[in-house]
Amino acid sequence: MTQDVLTRIEGPIGRITLNRPKALHALTLEMCHAMSAALTEWASNDDVRAIIIDHAEGSRGFCAGGDIAFLRNSALNDGGVSGRKFFHDEYQLNHQMFAYEKPIVAFMDGVTMGGGVGISQPAKFRVATENTRFAMPETGIGLFPDVGGGWFLSRLGGRLGQFLALTGARLKGEECLWAGLATHYVPSEMIEDLKARIAEKPDRIAGILSEPVGTPPPARLEENALKIAKHFASDTLEDILASLEAAAADGDEWAQKERDTLGTKSPQTLKVALRQLATSATLTDFADNMRMEYRIGSRVLTRPDFAEGVRAVIVDKTHDPKWDPLTPEGVSEELLDQIFAPLPEGEEWTPL
């Protein structure tokens, strides 16, 4: 059993605490397995009436993502075999949480990115604080907003999901509440008291989380909501870039900033994300979404942009990735078809 996740029962509550502070609790395969095993065990334990997921005290992260260094090593050294195994089992955990019959409370108190989004968004209660920093920054490293990102982001209003998926924009806690990515906003100093009260009355979670809320700060994101809806309206990347370009030419500094941001991202990943969200929006079963994302992940993991993006942004920190293809026009519909195509029989993703 890994010490990077602490699982225990406290009264009527199953507790899962991420405990890998030096990596901001980024998920390893062993951590995914430990969480999944605990959830499986508690599902049939009538004494456990609710689940709390949080992180060890004293660190800035709820969960900063998945183990990117491990995935890059897999892409470079074993043809993506171990990386696909990681995706497969991590996605099983995401689906297990989504379908879980007992209420899950995720305290997103700190950095909540990538894999951290994957273990918070399926929860019935998603609690943001003044410390929350939420993002799906995968387009910057040639990956894509996976772990169920297609499902959750495509269901936000006003093309907000497309904006977040493409730009990797970071949201504060009050913005997560406004967007619907969080169900509640509480001051971080109240979290321990709230956990104790949930343990006392696990059937009153919604009321307990709603009581302490003063008025959260105004969501800065709301100021740009109309611009986001306008400029990110299309599922075609070239349309979005042209819209931002036209507004930037008219002196719109926000449009100029977002255009420049998109210019740093992997063109392949931007187009993958748009198709991913458009497809997810048509699905009615979360398992079908995870099956699609596993297909994408299996392909994208070993394409040039992922290893190159991680090198430029995380390993060397030079921020000068050489994307392949280099331009949006170079990312053909045929390439996208290959990335989204079904896997060979026996290799498709399956739920637990």
DSSP codes of every residue in 284-324: S-HHHHHHHHHHHHHHHTTSHHHHHHHIIIIIS-------S
Domain parsing of the chain, residue ranges = 5-340
How do the residues of the chain divide into helix, strand and coil, expressed in percent and rounded to 5? 50, 10, 35
Which strands form 104-108's sheet, in the order they lie side by side? Answer: 5-10, 13-18, 50-55, 104-108, 125-128, 184-185
Are 123 and 104 in contact, with CB atoms under 8 Å apart?
yes
Q: What is the mean pLDDT of the chain?
A: 96
Cβ-Cβ contacts under 8 Å for 303 (sequence gap 6 or more): 142, 268, 324, 339
- Would you name the residues annotated as active-site residues? 66, 115, 138, 146
Q: Which two tokens stand for residue 54?
A: 């949080």
Are 221 and 158 in contact, with CB atoms under 8 Å apart?
no
pLDDT at 262 over 70: yes
Mean pLDDT score, 194-218? 91
How do residues 134-151 score in pLDDT, each as one tens digit? 999 999 999 999 999 999
The CATH code that applies to domain 5-340 is 3.90.226.10
How do residues 56-103 score in pLDDT, each as one tens digit? 988 889 999 998 989 999 999 999 999 999 999 999 999 999 999 999
Band of pLDDT at residue 39, cut at 50, 70 and 90: very high
Band of pLDDT at residue 2, cut at 50, 70 and 90: confident
Q: Which residues pair with 28 in a beta bridge?
A: none
Mean pLDDT score, 173-193? 96
Segments of the chain assigned E as strands: 5-10, 13-18, 50-55, 61-63, 104-108, 111-113, 125-128, 133-135, 171-172, 184-185
